[in-house]
Structure 1
Amino acid sequence: MKAIKQIRKVVRYRGDVQGIGFRANAIHQGRGLNVAGFVRNEPDGDVLLDVQGPEKDVRELLRRIGDSMERKINETSIDDRDPLPDREKFAIRY
């Protein structure tokens, strides 16, 4: 059986993104998708999303977050990274 290629994106959201349920929303948007990683608040007021999975699922998660939080996001930066082994869940980090 052919393994599905994994991709990893590290995304920084800037704007009015803390204290509004952004992280919980990100986890909700990931339901039903084959993604792993985390979302956390950063000390500078940004939210950091580190996610990996099949390309179609990662892209769908980013689309869902962007659509659902567009009024709160002023800027998004996305970096491609190498996938990490043994990631199994998508969760909030504190």
Structure 2
Amino acid sequence: MNDSWVRHETIFVGRVQGVGFRATAQNIARRYPVVGFVQNQPDGSVRLLIEGDPETCRQVVYHIADQMEEFIAERKTESSDATGEFVSFDIRT
């Protein structure tokens, strides 16, 4: 992590569970210099939490949204300071 990194938390809402969303998100995120995780939520949404350069984080979210657009009804992203707590990008259950 460096000083310019941010934390992006995006919630994807729609038919986003059971369609390979997490695996797709992981495949995309691992192509970029970001860390964090993707996780199904009890309400049927998917949570993506990534840390990286601000523009890179935006690109990851855009790429996932573009790839999975047919399943996404809504997405909400919040940004904050990076914590440096992650060392890789993973799927959480």
Q: Give TM class, smaller chain.
A: over 0.9
Q: Is the 8 A contact 2:13 2:75 kept in 1?
A: yes
Q: CA deviation at 1:4?
A: 5.4
Q: CA deviation at 1:59?
A: 1.2
Distance 1:76 1:32 in 2: 21
Q: CA deviation at 1:85?
A: 2.0
Distance 1:33 1:51 in 2: 11
Write out aligned runs for 1:14-93 (5 A): 14-93=13-92
Distance 2:42 2:91 in 1: 15
- Which piece of structure 1 moves more, 84-93 or 11-20? 84-93
- Moved segments of 4+, more than 4 Å: none
- The gaps in structure 1 that reach 5 residues or longer are none
CA root-mean-square deviation: 1.2
Q: Which one has a bigger Cα radius of gyration? A: 1
**Aligned pairs, how many?**
92
The residue type paired with residue 53 of structure 1 is G
Q: CA deviation at 1:81?
A: 2.0
Secondary structure of the 1:85 match is coil
Secondary structure of the 1:71 match is helix
Normalised to the residue count of structure 1, the TM-score between the two structures is 0.91
Normalised to the residue count of structure 2, the TM-score between the two structures is 0.92
